[in-house]
Amino acid sequence: MRERSKDLRVRRTLTSIRKSFYELVLEKNYNEISITELTDRAGINRKTFYLHYSSLDDLVKEIEEEIVSDILESIGSYAEAFDLPGCIKNFYIYLESCNEVQKKLLCDDHYSFFYESVTDSVLRSEPFAKFFERTDYPSIVRSYTISITFIYRDWLKGGRKIDFDTLTTQASNIVENGYAGVLKK
């Protein structure tokens, strides 16, 4: 996150902008949110918003950076150790700990641009470098890692019909061993 003023008024304004944005995320798709609506809800004028952000995308980028940092804190050491099951389990634990807004940003189809940007940043990070160094096909590895989130998203959409431990175990099995890893024995 950028370095911000310690001034109480500035902190209150930024908090109000963020709170209002989160409320709008829960109510609307991103392309339906306007700066005018955001500033009205935050109780500030547009000029005040533009003192802090150049656009709504700038605010979103700041939120993305915070989430990327949180994800890397949760799973970075597992990635460095090339512990794929540890990455998956702790990523799912991270997703489970997310608030309603974060889950919508990361799991809702209307916010796929947000998820894609977060994913790209995570996968470009140092802890994930070795995942790509071990292959001549980094785009396939990227697609494979993206499937981890889609498994979680599908689990959410399906009403969480299997327990969390089974989800993490089976997601690890299928990602590590392909379809052969989840065949009935």
Identify whether residues 123 and 147 lie together within a single domain: yes
Domain that residue 30 falls in: 8-53
CA-CA distance, 118 to 76, in Å (whole number)? 14
* Whether this model's pTM surpasses 0.75: yes
- Which contacts qualify for 59-63: CB closer than 8 Å, 24 or more apart? 59/17, 59/18, 59/21, 60/30, 60/114, 61/117, 62/1, 62/2, 63/18, 63/105
Q: Is residue 98 part of a domain?
A: yes
Identify whether residues 47 and 81 lie together within a single domain: no
pLDDT tens-digit map of 77-117? 999 898 889 999 999 999 999 999 999 999 998 999 999 99
Q: Is residue 131 part of a domain?
A: yes
